[in-house]
Amino acid sequence: MSIEIIPFHVGLMPAAAELLARRHARDRQALPLLPARFENTRNAQAAVREVWNKPHTTGTAALRDGRLVGYLLGEARFDTLRGRHIWMHLAGHALADDAPSSLYAELYAAAGPAWLRLGAFDHYIKITATDAAALDVWFDLTFGKEQAHAFLSLNGALPERVAVPGVVIRRATEADRDAFVDEMSPILRQHMSGPPVWGVALPEAVGSMREGFADLLTDATALVWLAEAEGETEAGRVLGYQVYFPASPADDDLTISISERTALLEVAATRPDARGRGIGRALAAAGLADAAAGGYTVCVADWRTTNIEGNRFWLGVGFRPAVYRLTRKVDPRIAWATF
């Protein structure tokens, strides 16, 4: 039986929802912390529709004897940081139970030319971390890991609270504004621009970053935890921070549930000269215990896989990757080197 690849259209939405619901059910067998609600076809269809209705979204579908056996949707985005690029959401693709993972390559090959005509040469896709066969296909297409999106259950054992000599862990207040904005906001940005992450933070974004840090201290939903030095030499010096929020569920994000209370670890950093003392773990122990006490059942976090220290730390705390963001850069010279 041959496979026919066609452009995706709205009439395929119900069948795509069936594929997504079944894929999500398979994913939950390995990742039970994923929200159950997307196993329901109606919720899965809302997720597919949310992706399909994003501006500049196109895609492809695979039919076998008239039956949908796979689809792939890509949203074209145009911004200053990433330029012209394609975003393939977790709800933007799925294959039938009896379809080979290699079908992803066929769908991508058919979808890609339209994206390149837009000048979108950077492609991103989210893939479930436990789907080894699908990951292998995308790796063969020269995609590589860029970001880990991870879970930690707050119903089980949490990081043990351990006192760090000369350090007090406490909630931030508005009185911490100057130190938090001036001293804490640059730490992660500077770390991420270093090797081997080499993540770009544009100078023109620094002002908005500082404003965002200031807003955290007045946001009633933000839980900002600080590590502060005590003693004669460094008393009052802020050494690190972690920020937690109630996660905002969205139909196109299959990792956050509406029915469960999910905490989001938004941002965290420790001064370079204070690392290795257990400050990050002490902050995480306090923040996660507080979230659990507040009725949250799951905490989600994400980090660059090239961030060696961050990757090691968050895995050590107990977070487990549920989804990877992969990326590929197509040589833009293909726009004219087609002879």
pLDDT per residue as tens digits for the range 274-333: 999 999 999 999 999 999 999 999 999 999 999 999 999 999 999 999 999 999 999 999
Mean pLDDT of all residues in 245-260: 80
Query: In this structure, which amino acid lies at residue 84?
Result: R
Q: What confidence tens digit (pLDDT) does each residue in 24-83 have?
A: 999 999 999 999 999 999 999 999 999 999 999 999 999 999 999 999 999 999 998 899
Any idea which fold 153-322 has? Aminopeptidase (3.40.630)
Identify the CA nearest to 53 among candidates 90, 10, 96: 10
192, 197, 200, 205 alpha-carbon torsion, rounded to 10° = -20
Q: What one-character-per-residue DSSP string does 184-217 give?
A: IHHHHHHHHTSTTT-----GGGHHHHHHHHHHHT
Quote the distance between the C-alpha of residue 36 and its chain's center. Answer: 19
Q: Match 């839980």 to its residue by tokens.
A: 223
| Cα–Cα distance, 133 to 239 (Å, whole number) | 43
CA–chain centroid gap for 304, Å, is 9
Please give the average per-residue pLDDT across 237-241, as a whole number.
Answer: 95
Q: What is the mean pLDDT of residues 183-207?
A: 91
Q: Is pLDDT above 80 for 212? A: yes
Can you list the positions of beta strands (E) in 118-237?
122-128, 144-153, 167-171, 223-229
3-141 CATH fold? Aminopeptidase (3.40.630)
Domain positions in the chain are 3-141, 153-322
- State pTM to two decimals: 0.95
Please check the confidence at residue 160 and state whether its pLDDT lies above 80.
yes
Cα torsion 79, 208, 324, 141: sign: positive
